[in-house]
Copies of this chain bind each other. A is one copy, B any other.
Amino acid sequence: MRIALLGGTGDIGEGLALRWAYHTDHDIVIGSRDPEKARAKADEYETELSSRGRDVKVTGFENKMAADRARIVVLAVPPYHVADTIEAVEDSLSEDDVLVTPAAGVKRDDDGFHYHPPKAGSVTQLVADAAPDGIPVVGAFHNLAAGRLANLDAELDIDTLVVADDFDAKDTVSRLAEEIDGLRALDAGGIANAAEVESVTPLLINVAQNNDGMHDLGVRFR
Contacts and interface: CB of A to CB of B under 8 A. Distances in A.
Interface of A: 109, 111-115, 157-158, 161, 186-190, 192-193, 195-197, 199-200, 202-204, 206-207, 209-211, 214, 217-222
A207 B190 CA distance: 11
Contact residues of A: prevailing secondary structure: mixed
Given A114-B196, A203-B197, A222 B211 contact: no
A196 B202 contact: yes
Contacts of A195: 114-115, 199
B210 A221 contact: no
Nearest to A185: B211
Contact of A196 (B161, B193, B206): B206
B111 A189 contact: yes
26 contacts: A112-B188, A112-B190, A112-B192, A114-B192, A115-B196, A186-B210, A186-B211, A187-B207, A187-B210, A187-B211, A188-B210, A189-B210, A193-B203, A193-B206, A195-B199, A196-B199, A196-B202, A196-B203, A197-B203, A199-B199, A199-B200, A200-B203, A217-B222, A218-B221, A219-B220, A219-B221
A202 to B, nearest CB: 5
A217 B184 CA distance: 15
A193 B202 CA distance: 9
A189 B112 contact: yes
Nearest to A208: B221
A112 B122 CA distance: 15
A197 B157 CA distance: 22
A203 B159 CA distance: 13
A137 to B, nearest CB: 15
Contacts of A115: 195-196, 199
Contacts of A218: 221-222
Given A196-B115, A203-B196, A209 B221 contact: no
